[in-house]
Chains A and B, each alone.
Chain A
């Protein structure tokens, strides 16, 4: 069953601290999944566009990234016939209305502002996992 397949989460995040924190949060959940990390937008797109790459089940995208901005990455993913089916969740510090609107304009699947409270952050990660990896029905990656 495809559903038994180990899930892969593609995390695009430049902040080491946040990467670790998110990894910790996923570790504390019941589901075991792989987390692939890209540290900037260019690296992210290179990874996603490799032929042999494993298509991730979910992309967690920070908005403010070096080299290539998160918004550009989002735009490129959603413009790509293959990649656009992968749910993208923007997970960012910004609560700026412009950023929120802009992200949805670019067809983000979900926009989440990072919580300032550790427990809240853990809750959010659990929520993402539960919803996007367990509840939602996603198109089958080839």
Chain B
């Protein structure tokens, strides 16, 4: 994994045993650490490397006051500084110690008080040539900040920070980590020498920064390990002589890192590291981590400069982040109002949400979304299958009572979701009603993690004696285990946006339901009027027509001898025209009578209906010597009269469009899963397949009336009857090959009618 600077500890996953941070008493050997009793500045403990750096053994320092090491001028300054509230006034102080004759050692001295109230003085060797003059630093910082101000996006901003930190410190690699709400992190910016591996864009687990380490980052904003392979110096004596306990070095600069940590660095080929904490609202927002392949010492001053840079710059990041948050909120608000507008304009709110730009996905930054409304699914992006969605909604209906439900680990609460974790480890759901939902999905987060390099490469769990420690790659695997079945979390602002959308949908649905009810009323009224009209038309239109026909015929009958051939023909045409008009009126009447409301659902013997139809066609069957055969016919739930009409029209059609041979017609039926499939097959002239849809359209004719008489409504009536029964009708045919008309009738009759509020009973009627 990618978080080498951090002490790795994963208590529940491995048997890593690490001492608590306050009991670590190793000291990095490049500096000297002294533990003092503050009132008298008496030395209680000293790091064992004093011989090398101060030319005095630790034993010789015990019980001495600082006056023994520093000249009185320096000690007076310490006393004055320690009397101040804030130790920053004396931190750091450039101090010197005479080792021998004119041999002075120069140090940066830093004081702090630990949790037990002891004063700790840390002395780091000062290297004058490494000090950066204040003005240079000022220019650097100013240049950076100016550059930053010109940058609008957070990504670029972070990039500039790592560039600047690398400029100032000259580390081989500088990275900026950002933590998310769950504590997982991501490398968002990186600047490095070409030879070093890139970690940019990689995620790393929360487990890599255990709680004690986080605490330390909170209190100790800058951490340096100049040489990860240096053997730490211990304290002399090991235990604090006052408390008889290890002295708490949590806030120490020189305290040695965990062994695990140094191994970590070692495995990554890193010898020196510097870490700067980025804090926001007293929480660890992120880190700037610097790596160097060889040991590298960074002076206290420079570190302070980096810390300062970090703070100043980070203040700007915070602002930027807030601005970004604000912009995101505004963005969501814009998406939201666009959606609401398009919903109210679209015919159905579902279309409005799915088809507009921006669409539903944009409202919650989701990869997939689905709407269940009126028993139908509409989806966009990547979603589970409709079957899975149906189960999911059933589960939601049972489980969820709130106006919004969201989780970034759906499989943990709904085990079946593991099957589609790659599209929906995260779910955000708003119920519109018990049966209608809007759902948003996010994929498992591992899917979105970038992993550079070869994942099978080198680093693993290391073991040495009875100690174990995590190494980068292995740690990534552990993390994958930890975060699997998780999506990126839903932001509160996203949840809020969906809640507001819900309100809008509910309003629109209510309004549409109201409009629909009104519309249904109007429709019912106009339907009734239409029926009345149809009746009147059939009667009142027929009457004058009959009259024309009758009188023309009477004319012919009575004056036959006085008419020439032209007159006789004219009369024939008049009669023909009237007769066609009469047929049309009859058919329109039949067509208008077929509607959903008019259907008498009942258990019908389809053989009776067929026989009735055959009876009506008796004359034509005899005339054409047609052979009609049929399969045993089932009992079905349908309107018997309409079914009869259907058979009659189809068989009449088969007879009408006969070829030169006598018609052979077979009526078949077979049971399919949910439907009865009927067929009427003939050996007639057939239909060109390109017309196979057109023939069902009202008044569509493929032949002249001279060839085949008729209104062109027969099949339109058939189609309407079948559709009112919730079935489908189609034809399969080739020219000259005969034709087979198929139609289906649902076995259950009419499940739909319950949904549309009809209350007719389709059980056999009594009496």
Complex interface: stretch among B110-118, B158-166, B183-191, B539-547: B539-547
| Distance in angstroms between the alpha carbons of A33 and B119 in the assembled complex | 142
Given A24-B554, A93-B543, residue A117 in contact with residue B549 (CB < 8 A): yes
Residues on the A chain within 8 Å of B535, using CB? 96
Residues on the B chain within 8 Å of A117, using CB? 549, 553
Asked if residues A21 and B554 are in contact (CB atoms below 8 Å), the reply is yes
**Residues in chain A within 8 A of chain B (CB atoms):** 15, 17-18, 21, 24, 64, 92-96, 114, 116-119, 121
Closest Cβ of chain A: how far from B540's Cβ, in Å? 8
**Residues in chain B within 8 A of chain A (CB atoms):** 535, 538-540, 542-543, 545-547, 549-551, 553-554, 557, 579, 582
Residues on the B chain within 8 Å of A24, using CB? 554
Residue of A nearest to B547 (CB): A17
Closest Cβ of chain A: how far from B616's Cβ, in Å? 14
Given A21-B554, A24-B554, residue A118 in contact with residue B547 (CB < 8 A): no
Task: Give me 10 A-to-B residue pairs in the complex whose CB atoms sit less than 8 angstroms apart, sorted by A's number.
Answer: A17-B547, A64-B540, A93-B543, A93-B546, A95-B538, A96-B535, A116-B542, A116-B579, A118-B553, A121-B550
Residues on the A chain within 8 Å of B551, using CB? 17, 21
Asked if residues B557 and A118 are in contact (CB atoms below 8 Å), the reply is yes
Asked if residues B539 and A116 are in contact (CB atoms below 8 Å), the reply is no
Residues on the B chain within 8 Å of A93, using CB? 539, 542-543, 546
| Distance in angstroms between the alpha carbons of A119 and B579 in the assembled complex | 14
The 7 residue pairs across chains A and B that have the minimum distance between CB atoms: A118-B553, A17-B547, A118-B550, A93-B542, A93-B543, A94-B539, A93-B539
Asked if residues A116 and B538 are in contact (CB atoms below 8 Å), the reply is no
Closest Cβ of chain A: how far from B579's Cβ, in Å? 7
Residues on the A chain within 8 Å of B545, using CB? 116
* Sample of 4 further A-B pairs with CB below 8 A, known A18-B547, A94-B538, A119-B553: A17-B547, A116-B579, A118-B549, A118-B557
| Distance in angstroms between the alpha carbons of A118 and B579 in the assembled complex | 12
Closest Cβ of chain A: how far from B67's Cβ, in Å? 124
Asked if residues A96 and B538 are in contact (CB atoms below 8 Å), the reply is yes
Residues on the B chain within 8 Å of A121, using CB? 550
| Distance in angstroms between the alpha carbons of A93 and B540 in the assembled complex | 8
Asked if residues A15 and B554 are in contact (CB atoms below 8 Å), the reply is no
| Distance in angstroms between the alpha carbons of A114 and B543 in the assembled complex | 9
Residue from B539, B545, B557 having most chain A Cβ neighbours under 10 A: B539
| Distance in angstroms between the alpha carbons of A117 and B548 in the assembled complex | 11
In-complex Cβ contact of A96 among B539, B540, B547, B582 (8 A): B539
Residue of A nearest to B578 (CB): A116
Asked if residues B547 and A116 are in contact (CB atoms below 8 Å), the reply is no
Residues on the B chain within 8 Å of A116, using CB? 542, 545-546, 549-550, 579, 582
| Distance in angstroms between the alpha carbons of A22 and B545 in the assembled complex | 16
In-complex Cβ contact of A114 among B538, B546, B554, B557 (8 A): B546
| Distance in angstroms between the alpha carbons of A101 and B529 in the assembled complex | 22
In-complex Cβ contact of A21 among B538, B539, B550, B582 (8 A): B550
| Distance in angstroms between the alpha carbons of A119 and B558 in the assembled complex | 12
| Distance in angstroms between the alpha carbons of A95 and B534 in the assembled complex | 13
| Distance in angstroms between the alpha carbons of A92 and B582 in the assembled complex | 15
| Distance in angstroms between the alpha carbons of A116 and B542 in the assembled complex | 9
| Distance in angstroms between the alpha carbons of A17 and B547 in the assembled complex | 6
Residues on the A chain within 8 Å of B540, using CB? 64
Residues on the B chain within 8 Å of A92, using CB? 539
Residues on the B chain within 8 Å of A114, using CB? 546
Closest Cβ of chain B: how far from A36's Cβ, in Å? 22
| Distance in angstroms between the alpha carbons of A121 and B539 in the assembled complex | 17
Residues on the A chain within 8 Å of B542, using CB? 93, 116
| Distance in angstroms between the alpha carbons of A117 and B550 in the assembled complex | 6
Residues on the A chain within 8 Å of B549, using CB? 116-118
| Distance in angstroms between the alpha carbons of A116 and B544 in the assembled complex | 11
Residue of B nearest to A16 (CB): B547
Residue of B nearest to A118 (CB): B553
In-complex Cβ contact of A15 among B543, B553, B557, B582 (8 A): B543
Closest Cβ of chain B: how far from A3's Cβ, in Å? 32
Residues on the B chain within 8 Å of A94, using CB? 538-539
Residue of B nearest to A121 (CB): B550
Closest Cβ of chain A: how far from B648's Cβ, in Å? 16
Asked if residues B538 and A118 are in contact (CB atoms below 8 Å), the reply is no
Residues on the A chain within 8 Å of B550, using CB? 17, 21, 116, 118, 121
Residue of B nearest to A94 (CB): B539
Closest Cβ of chain B: how far from A123's Cβ, in Å? 13
Residue of A nearest to B586 (CB): A95
Closest Cβ of chain A: how far from B404's Cβ, in Å? 55
Residues on the A chain within 8 Å of B554, using CB? 21, 24, 118
Closest Cβ of chain A: how far from B558's Cβ, in Å? 9
Closest Cβ of chain B: how far from A12's Cβ, in Å? 15
Closest Cβ of chain A: how far from B515's Cβ, in Å? 34
| Distance in angstroms between the alpha carbons of A121 and B553 in the assembled complex | 11
Residues on the B chain within 8 Å of A118, using CB? 549-550, 553-554, 557
Residues on the A chain within 8 Å of B543, using CB? 15, 18, 93
Residue from B538, B539, B542, B546 having most chain A Cβ neighbours under 10 A: B546
| Distance in angstroms between the alpha carbons of A121 and B550 in the assembled complex | 9
| Distance in angstroms between the alpha carbons of A117 and B546 in the assembled complex | 8
Residue of B nearest to A98 (CB): B535
| Distance in angstroms between the alpha carbons of A96 and B592 in the assembled complex | 13
| Distance in angstroms between the alpha carbons of A135 and B444 in the assembled complex | 93
| Distance in angstroms between the alpha carbons of A127 and B638 in the assembled complex | 39
| Distance in angstroms between the alpha carbons of A38 and B554 in the assembled complex | 24
Residue of B nearest to A96 (CB): B535
Residue from B545, B550, B553, B554 having most chain A Cβ neighbours under 10 A: B550
Residues on the A chain within 8 Å of B579, using CB? 116
Closest Cβ of chain B: how far from A10's Cβ, in Å? 21
Residue of A nearest to B582 (CB): A116
Residues on the B chain within 8 Å of A119, using CB? 553
Asked if residues A64 and B539 are in contact (CB atoms below 8 Å), the reply is yes
| Distance in angstroms between the alpha carbons of A17 and B544 in the assembled complex | 9
